[in-house]
Structure 1
Amino acid sequence: MLGNNRGYIQIARYIVGLSWMYHGFFPKIYHVAPLEKLMTGSAGYSAQVSDLITRGAGIAEVIFGLLLIIFYKNKQLVWLNIFLLCGLLGAVAVMQPNLLIEAFNPVTTNLPLIALSFIWLKEIKLLSNRYL
């Protein structure tokens, strides 16, 4: 990772940011996926309230993805991303643990994004040290 640190930051920024945007838009706004309904429904909400919560979460995820792409040098935002990905993984583990062993589950999506975010943080540090 020596040399072109900016390239690693750009890869991380777009993969993580676009992942948030995709997971916010398609399974929550464009078409509420059955698993999304299952997650909010398991919290005890009615179908109507569950739909509103799911769509609201989708809007928030799209906005958060955009923020990650735009403010990619902000370490606090990347740390928030890591915290949220861990929290979402934990929420699935508590609310619907059976989903952790399904295909394309939160473990196989969140853990790589968390790992990529740690690389991102390292590259931000290397980049800022270069300009000191």
Structure 2
Amino acid sequence: MHNKPVYVETEIAADIEALWLHTQSPDLHQQWDLRFSEIAYLPKPDDEGLPQRFLYRTRIGFGLAVSGTGETKAIFHKRSGERTSTLRFGSGQQISLIKEGSGFWKYRPHGDRVTFLTQYDYETRWGAAGQWFDRIVFRPMFGYATAWSFDMLRIWLEERIPPSVSIQRAIVHYVSLTMLAVLWLYEGIVPKLLYPEYGELAMLEQLGWFTGLERIMLQLLGAGEIVIALVTVRWHRKTSIFVWQSVLLLLLPLGAILGNPTIALSPFNPLTLSLPMIALAFTTALTTRQLPQASRCLRKPNDRSVG
């Protein structure tokens, strides 16, 4: 069983020299590439024909890190202006799924843009179990991390937003998004569909808007909140989703309070939940701008890429 090589391609509006510097300089490379925590070049012999050797290290959590060695060599195509950086890498650590591998980076300038692409493959450890784990879990995640990193590099070069800011923005965005979606799901499932007798049903009955139909309306509201959670996750990069949510989160509790003002006196009234959810919606919307996105990258070579 052999898994397909990882392929990622993007287009960056930048000078090829700037792109080359940000990908070939270890201190810059390790800032945007999620696959590596540290990269350090080893002393290079005087012979320019020999490849540049390097050490790499990747933190995998729980105080563990995978380290390895590699070598890279630059090839300049004077006629076309293209550049290629070949790569070989490997790790002797048994905790590393990757035993050894190879690949390349290509830089294809055209006008004021550069097509930047990579393709690499590797051999795995742990026998058949390692191959299956690589196919189902590791390789898709590794490819996604490569594409996400390429887009973060694009944002750095095009928008002058450093990777550290992009990573912080992404953490805030996805944490806020997760909390917002969980709250919508919880409010839709628990108090409205599973346990309406513990407050929601009585609150709706006090309004007197749907006499005799309160339970049905509560079920519809619960289903609607579940749909909002799913729509929020699916289209979380659209700020309009969060604008409409904020309007809805204001109108629903205000309508309930106007219908029964005593609701506002309870310690856990509709506003105490709506206002924090509005804050989460605002934070999620605010961090959608220039958020790295793996799907912006091409994941399969086409005729232009191969040529």
Report the TM-score range of the alignment, normalised by the length of the smaller protein.
0.7 to 0.9
**What are the equivalent positions in structure 2 for 1:37-76 lying under 5 Å apart?**
37-41=201-205, 42-47=207-212, 49-76=213-240
> Is the counterpart of residue 105 in structure 1 residue 269 in structure 2?
yes
Would you say the 8 A contact 1:24–1:57 is kept in 2? yes
| Larger relative helix fraction | 1
**Partner Cα distance (2:242, 2:197) in 1:** 27
Ranges in structure 1 where 5+ consecutive residues have no aligned partner: none
2:210–2:217 contact (8 Å) kept in structure 1: no
> RMSD in angstroms over aligned alpha carbons?
2.1
Contact 2:177/2:280 (CA < 8 Å) preserved in 1? no
Describe the SS at the equivalent of 1:104: coil
CA offsets 1:33-89 (integer angstroms, 9 cap, x no match): 353223332234233x11101111101111111211222111111111111101112
TM-score normalised to structure 1 length: 0.84
TM-superposed CA distance for 1:15, in Å, is 0.9
Which is greater in Rg? 2
Against the structure 1 CA distance between its residues 57 and 39, is the aligned structure 2 distance closer, same or farther, given a 3 Å change threshold? Answer: same
Q: Percent identity?
A: 20
Q: 8 Å contact 1:39–1:95 — kept in the other structure?
A: no
Query: What stretches of structure 2 of length at least 5 have no aligned partner?
Result: 1-163, 297-307
Deviates more, 1:59-68 or 1:37-46: 37-46
Deviations 1:89-124 (A, max 9, x none): 211221222122212222221111111211212111
Paired letter, 1:102 = S
Give 1:35's aligned residue: 199
For 1:118 and 1:44, how far apart are their aligned partners in 2?
31
The DSSP-based 3-state class of the residue aligned with 1:125 is coil
CA contact (8 A) 2:181 2:233 kept: yes
Say whether the 8 Å CA contact 2:192–2:219 is kept in structure 1.
yes
TM-score normalized by the length of structure 2:
0.39
CA deviations over 1:13-32 (Å, ceiling 9, x no partner): 11111111101111111121
